[in-house]
A and B are shown apart, each in its own frame.
Chain A
Amino acid sequence: MFEVIYIEKQLLDHPRVLAILAKYPNSEVKKIEKIEDVFGRVKKPYLQKRTNLNLFLGEKKGQLVKLAPPAYGLSGEPHYYFVHAYNCIYECNYCYLQGYFHSPDIVLYLNHEEIALEISRVASLFHSQKPSQKIWFHAGEYSDSLALTSLSGELSHYFKLFKELPNCNLELRTKSINIKELLKEAPLENIITSFSLSPAHRIKLNDLKTPPLKSRLEAIKQLHLSGFPIGIHFDPIIYDDQFIESYEELADQLIEALPAESICYISLGVVRFTKEVFQKVQKHYPDSDILAQEFIRSFDNKIRYNRPMRLWMLGKIKQQLIDRGVPEERIYLCMEDSADDPMVKSHD
Chain B
Amino acid sequence: MKLLTFAHRGEAQAFLSEFSFKPVDFFFDGLLISNDYFLLITGEGPHSASEKTISVLAHYSTQITHVFNLGVAGSLVPQLKLHDLVWIRTSYAHHAEKCEFKSFSSKNPKAINDCMTAFSRVIDLEEKTKLSHFANIVDRELWAVASAAHLFKKSFNALKIISDELTNEKLDICQFVKDEAPLFSKKLLDEFILSEKDLTPKKALKAKEGNDSILLSDPLFYFTVSQSRKLHSTLEGLALKGFSEAALNNETEVSAIKVMDKLPKERARLLLLHLSEKLNPISVKIRKSLEAAIAPLEAAKIQVSYDSTFEEDWLNINLKIQSSRDLEKVKNALKIFSYEDYKKIFDGNFDV
Q: Which residues of A contact B (CB under 8 A)?
A: 6, 30, 32, 37-38, 41-45, 48, 51-52, 102, 239, 241, 286-289, 291-294, 296-299, 306-315, 338, 340-341
Please, how many angstroms separate the alpha-carbon atoms of A299 and B103 in the complex? 34
Partner-A contacts on B (CB < 8 A) = 89-90, 92, 99-103, 105, 112, 132-134, 204, 237-238, 240-241, 279-283, 286, 309-312, 345-350, 352
B347 contacts A311, C-beta separation under 8 Å? yes
**Distance (whole angstroms) from the CB of A210 to the closest CB of chain B:** 21
Of A42, A294, A297, A299, the contact of B101 (CB 8 Å cutoff): A42
> B134 to A42, Cβ gap below 8 A?
yes
**Contact of A287 with B92 at beta-carbon distance under 8 Å, contacts A306-B310, A307-B346 already known:** no
Q: Which residues of A contact B132 (CB under 8 A)?
A: 30
Report A241 CB to chain B, min CB distance, Å. 8
Beyond A287-B204, A307-B311, is A43–B346 a contact (Cβ under 8 Å)? no
Tell me if A314 and B348 are in contact (CB < 8 A).
Answer: yes
Given the known inter-chain contacts A293-B280, A307-B311, please indicate yes or no for A6 contacting B346, CB distance below 8 A. Answer: no
- Cβ of A297: which chain B residues have Cβ within 8 Å of it? 309
When the two chains form the complex, which single residue of B90, B133, B282 contacts A239, counting CB atoms closer than 8 Å?
Answer: B282
In the complex, residue of chain B having the shortest beta-carbon distance to the beta carbon of A38: B133
Contact: A341 with B282, CB < 8 Å?
A: no
A31 to chain B: closest residue by CB: B129
CB–CB B352/A291 < 8 A: no
In the complex, the answer to whether A289 meets B350 with C-beta atoms within 8 Å is no
Could you show 18 A-B contacts with beta carbons less than 8 Å apart?
A30-B133, A38-B133, A41-B101, A42-B99, A43-B101, A44-B103, A45-B105, A51-B112, A52-B112, A241-B281, A288-B240, A291-B240, A293-B280, A306-B311, A307-B348, A309-B348, A312-B349, A313-B348
Q: Is the CB of A289 within 8 A of B240?
A: yes
Per the bound structure, the CA–CA distance linking A338 and B133 in Å amounts to 49
Q: Is the CB of A307 within 8 A of B310?
A: yes
Please, how many angstroms separate the alpha-carbon atoms of A312 and B350 in the complex? 8
A residues less than 8 Å from B237 (CB atoms): 291-294
Residues of B within 8 A of A299 (CB): 311-312
Contact check, B134 vs A41: say whether CB atoms are below 8 A apart: yes
Identify the 7 closest CB pairs spanning chains A and B, nearest first: A311-B348, A312-B348, A292-B240, A306-B310, A296-B309, A292-B237, A43-B103
- The reply to whether B286 and A308 form a contact with Cβ atoms under 8 Å apart is yes
Q: In the assembly, what is the distance between CA of A287 and CA of B236, in Å?
A: 10
Tell me if B240 and A45 are in contact (CB < 8 A).
no
Q: How far is the CA of A312 from the CA of B134 in the complex (A)?
A: 48
Which residues of chain A are near B240, meaning CB under 8 Å? 287-289, 291-292
In the assembly, what is the distance between CA of A32 and CA of B310, in Å? 52
Q: Once bound together, how far apart are the Cα atoms of A287 and B134, in whole Å?
A: 30
Decide if A308 touches B310 in the complex (CB within 8 Å). yes
B343 and chain A: residue at smallest CB distance? A340
Complex-state Cα separation, A102 to B99, whole angstroms: 13
Contact across chains for A298 and B99 when beta carbons are under 8 A apart: no
CB distance from B126 to the nearest CB of A (A): 13
- Contacting pair B103 A308 (CB below 8 A): no
Tell me whether A292 and B238 are in contact (CB under 8 A): yes
Partner of A338, one of B102, B204, B347: B347
Contact of A294 (CB < 8 Å), options: B133, B280, B312: B280
**Contact pick for B241, options A30, A292, A338, CB 8 Å:** A292
Known pairs A287-B204, A292-B240, A294-B283; A42 contacts B100 (CB<8 A): yes
